Amino acid sequence: MRKIHVPLQENSYDVIIEPGLINHIDDYIDKSREIVIISDDNIPKTYINTIKSFLSNCLCLYVPHGEKSKSMEMANSLVNSLIHNNITRGCLIVALGGGVVGDLAGFVASIYMRGVDYIQIPTTLLSQIDSSVGGKVGVNTETMKNAIGSFKQPKLVLIDSTTLQTLDERQINNGIAEMIKYGLIASKTLFEDLYSLNIFDDIDKYIYQCVQIKKDIVVQDVFDNGIRQILNYGHTIGHAIEQYSKYELLHGEAISIGMMSMSIGTIFEKEIKKVLTKYNLPTSHDYDKEALYRYITTDKKANKNNLNIIMVDKVGKGYIKPIIISQIKERL
């Protein structure tokens, strides 16, 4: 078992990384509480049934799988279900699933009765190494990704890497894209391992490394006004591509193209292409550049004229660079 403490004063919590953890989930969750599991309709039922078998009388709410469920309508529908089931402020919401469920259930926890406790049990690689930690929760609108949201830290994050056994290769590679990002912005060794080793020989070690990197950054800048922005390497262009593709491209795939664009002209341009290709991640696109630019001008990190982009000159060290917004065009 590995444990990472995220020290955020009264919002501090632990991230537990332990294969097989869901088979004794009652060691981590107080089953005497009023528990609501929020999951999606595509997560293998065996995980939900295992967890349910330990938590008597919990309420389970399911949303359709996929990015479209990260919406105000879905959040509203979940809130109505909580009201309908007389769920009180003392409840504990359990987000069981990938980043969509985590962001959505966390958002509901942040608004229901002005905020209730929630924990994350992430079951995709992307959510285990990234979205379940750091407290960014929210939903999309038709025109803007993550347009509505809050900062709401979970009470606990429980990571069981055995749940990755049922995840298909495309979804695994989707998560690897964020791992490559961590390597580029913070760890040359991680980047090199991703290229030369089979990280699944010891996946818990790599999940731990990624969560450690995210934690170290988040605790310095929980509200994303400074250093936390380096976690967005490749995300400005990536988010635009993700929205333009109407979420046909997965988050990590879109970020992959975004990272490649940001690496053009660097000394590691060839290496990054090799590592992205190793994991079947896309490195180019033929989308309409003007349309992508319009999405970028509405990016949350942009103001009317300027934009902070994240740059890496040397693998393992990301930094923030303010630019005039139109300068991003040369990278599209």
Ligand X SMILES: NC(=O)c1ccc[n+]([C@@H]2O[C@H](COP(=O)([O-])OP(=O)(O)OC[C@H]3O[C@@H](n4cnc5c(N)ncnc54)[C@H](O)[C@@H]3O)[C@@H](O)[C@H]2O)c1
150 binds ligand X (CB under 6 A): no
Of 61-69, 199-207, 221-229, 290-298: span binding ligand X (CB under 6 A)? 61-69
44 binds ligand X (CB under 6 A): yes
Of 22-30, 118-126, 258-266, 271-279: span binding ligand X (CB under 6 A)? 118-126
Binding mask 195-234 for ligand X (x = CB under 6 A): ----------------------------------------
In the complex with ligand X, the residue whose CB is nearer, 98 or 318, is 98
Q: Look at phi and psi of residue 97 and say left if phi exceeds 0, alpha if psi is from -120 to 50, else beta.
A: left
Number of residues that bind ligand X (CB under 6 A): 28
43 binds ligand X (CB under 6 A): yes
100 binds ligand X (CB under 6 A): yes
136 binds ligand X (CB under 6 A): yes
Work out which of 36, 129, 134, 276 binds ligand X, going by CB under 6 A: 134
Hey, what amino acid is at 163?
T
Hey, what amino acid is at 265?
G
163 binds ligand X (CB under 6 A): yes
Please state the three-class secondary structure of the chain as a single string.
Answer: CEEEEECCHHHCEEEEECCCHHHHHHHCCCCCCCEEEEEECCCCHHHHHHHHHHCCCCEEEEECCCHHHCEHHHHHHHHHHHHHCCCCCCCEEEEEECHHHHHHHHHHHHHHHHCCEEEEEECCHHHHHHHCCCCEEEEECCCCCCCEEEECCCCEEEECHHHHHHCCHHHHHHHHHHHHHHHHHHCHHHHHHHHHCCHHHHHHHHHHHHHHHHHHHHCCCCCCCCHHHHHHCCHHHHHHHHHHCCCCCCHHHHHHHHHHHHHCCCCCHHHHHHHHHHCCCCCCCCCCHHHHHHHHHCCCCECCCEEEEEEEEECCEEEEEEEEHHHHHHHC
CB of 265 to ligand X, least distance (A): 26
In the complex with ligand X, the residue whose CB is nearer, 150 or 305, is 150
174 binds ligand X (CB under 6 A): yes
240 binds ligand X (CB under 6 A): no
Of 41-49, 85-93, 305-313, 319-327: span binding ligand X (CB under 6 A)? 41-49
In the complex with ligand X, the residue whose CB is nearer, 132 or 263, is 132
301 binds ligand X (CB under 6 A): no
Of 5-13, 164-172, 283-291, 297-305: span binding ligand X (CB under 6 A)? 164-172
131 binds ligand X (CB under 6 A): yes
> How far apart are alpha carbons 157 and 129 in whole angstroms?
11
Spatial neighbors of 206 by CB under 8 A, at least 6 apart, are 129, 179, 190, 193, 199
CB of 63 to ligand X, least distance (A): 10
67 binds ligand X (CB under 6 A): yes
CB of 324 to ligand X, least distance (A): 27
Binding residues for ligand X, rule: CB under 6 A, are 40, 42-44, 65-67, 70, 97-101, 103, 123-124, 126-127, 130-131, 134, 136, 163, 166-167, 171, 174, 251
